[in-house]
């Protein structure tokens, strides 16, 4: 099995012809597409795991992040994000091949901020991205969503029979450790639009309240130091918590595991989530989590989390203090039960089996369907 990385952003006609020949002449070829930056793509667990799944299912996989990199005539096209999937949809349809589109983000959700009412996600995208999302969802062979929470909205956007297949966690990598746990950790990229959704300022405003009860507690914020970094660092200074909060920046997946293993609590108080990947990873590391009751998060965590009002620093602080007040043994027991839920419902093996079944159904006359013609 070969994993082919298409690294050049601009391919010559000769190279495109060679790649077309490769796809049409080699058994079981697949193109994995995402319009994200290639460096970012290689960091994201959703892409790492789905590429691995295709590889494990016997496909020679070409990774593409632009239209020119997408081969013609592959046996299967597998694309993430609704609006960007219009690009592989074109080549899949003209090649007469199936395409699976994963609608995994807010670009296919009718979302408004719970406080301000400001539209975001699909509602805030320009008209051409709205059109691209609708066309991709309407004319793809199969639409997958990463949570049941997403089903109604993608149906409204034109998906005919979307299938909920949750994201997965590599539970062998994201696992508990015997290292000492000391931090309260949260993860989000420090860009204005992300900070708003993740309620980064609410998290920081909860810290001085927590410090009144646990003055030695340390807090860690992991994520790219984007255009909101200076503002948040200034806020931490104004709140008198600069010595207690460490903005550690972005890091590799292996390092994220180490931080989660060293955390007493993981906090994610997003205004919405289509799944909650890092929440699942924290639970897999047996780290107790404190979350908002929004989006797909309740579906993910079940009763293995502390729920708070994500718009209220007092509520967030009370939740953190409640977990810190528990003994180490009590937090260990909470974490162990949470990990068992991830292993049972959200493991890599579960997602691989579900995607394998979807692909097998594509070749079955009883289950195959073509949105251009209706069911077979």
The mean pLDDT of 262-284, rounded to a whole number, is: 97
Domain boundaries, the chain: 3-168+348-369, 183-345
**What number does CATH give the domain 3-168+348-369?**
3.40.50.2000
- Ranges of H-type helices in the chain: 13-25, 38-41, 45-56, 86-95, 127-139, 151-156, 192-198, 200-213, 229-238, 253-261, 277-284, 297-301, 313-324, 328-345, 348-362
Average pLDDT score, the chain: 91
- Give the separation between CA 301 and CA 334, rounded to whole angstroms: 12
Residue 10 pLDDT exceeds 60: no
- Asked if pLDDT for residue 74 goes beyond 90, the answer is yes
Bridge partners, 164 (sequence order):
145
Give me the CATH code for the 183-345 domain, please: 3.40.50.2000
Are domains 3-168+348-369 and 183-345 of this chain identical in fold? yes
- The pLDDT assigned to 236 comes to 98
| DSSP letter, residue 197 | H
CB 53 within 8 A of CB 80: no
d(CA 69, CA 53): 21
Give Cα 29 to chain centroid, integer Å. 25
Tens-place pLDDT, residues 92-134: 999 999 999 999 999 999 999 999 999 999 999 999 999 999 9
**Residue 230 is encoded by which pair of tokens?**
């200076």
Over residues 262-288, the mean pLDDT reads 97
The residues that bridge with 79 in the sheet, in sequence order, are 33, 101
Each residue of 143-181: pLDDT tens digit?
Answer: 999 999 999 999 999 999 999 999 999 999 999 999 999
For residue 347, the SS3 value is strand
Backbone angles phi, psi at 33, to 5 degrees: -120, 140
The answer to whether the CB of 305 falls within 8 A of the CB of 322 is no
Per cent of the chain over pLDDT 70 is 89
Using CA atoms, how far residue 118 sits from 114, 123, 193, 265, 268, in Å, is: 8, 9, 12, 31, 21
pLDDT at 27 over 90: no
pLDDT of residue 89: 98
């Amino acid at each position: 099995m070969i994993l082919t990385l298409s690294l050049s952003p601009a391919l010559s006609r000769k190279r495109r012809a060679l790649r077309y020949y490769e796809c049409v002449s080699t058994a079981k070829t697949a193109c994995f597409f995402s319009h994200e930056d290639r460096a970012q793509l290689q960091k994201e667990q959703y892409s790492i795991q789905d590429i691995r799944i295709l590889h494990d299912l016997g496909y020679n996989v070409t990774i593409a992040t632009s239209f020119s990199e997408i081969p013609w005539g592959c046996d299967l096209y597998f694309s993430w994000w609704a609006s960007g999937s219009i690009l592989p949809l074109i080549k899949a349809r003209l090649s007469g091949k199936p395409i699976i589109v994963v609608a995994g983000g807010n670009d296919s959700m009718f979302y408004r901020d719970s406080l301000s009412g400001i539209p975001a996600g699909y509602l805030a995208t320009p008209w051409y991205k709205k059109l691209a999302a609708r066309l991709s969802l309407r004319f793809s062979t199969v639409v997958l969503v990463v949570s049941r929470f997403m089903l109604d909205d993608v149906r409204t956007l034109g998906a005919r029979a979307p299938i909920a297949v949750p994201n997965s966690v590599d539970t062998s990598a994201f696992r508990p450790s015997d290292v000492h746990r000391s931090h309260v950790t949260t993860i989000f990229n420090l860009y204005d639009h992300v900070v708003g959704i993740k309620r980064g300022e609410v998290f920081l405003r909860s810290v001085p309240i927590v410090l009144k009860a646990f003055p030695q507690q340390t807090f860690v914020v992991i994520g790219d130091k984007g255009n909101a970094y200076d503002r948040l660092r200034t806020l931490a200074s104004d709140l008198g918590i600069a010595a207690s909060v460490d903005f550690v920046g972005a890091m590799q997946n292996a390092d994220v595991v180490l931080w989660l293993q060293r955390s007493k609590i993981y906090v994610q108080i997003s205004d919405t989530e289509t799944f909650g990947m890092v929440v699942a990873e924290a639970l897999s590391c047996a780290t107790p989590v404190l979350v908002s009751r929004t989006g797909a998060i309740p579906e993910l965590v079940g009763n293995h989390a502390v729920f708070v009002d994500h718009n209220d620093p007092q509520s967030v602080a009370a939740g953190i203090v409640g977990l810190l007040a528990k003994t180490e043994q009590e937090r260990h027991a909470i974490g162990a039960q949470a990990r068992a839920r991830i292993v049972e419902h959200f493991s890599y093996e579960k997602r691989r089996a579900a995607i394998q079944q979807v692909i097998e159904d594509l070749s079955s006359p009883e289950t195959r369907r073509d949105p251009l013609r209706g069911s077979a």
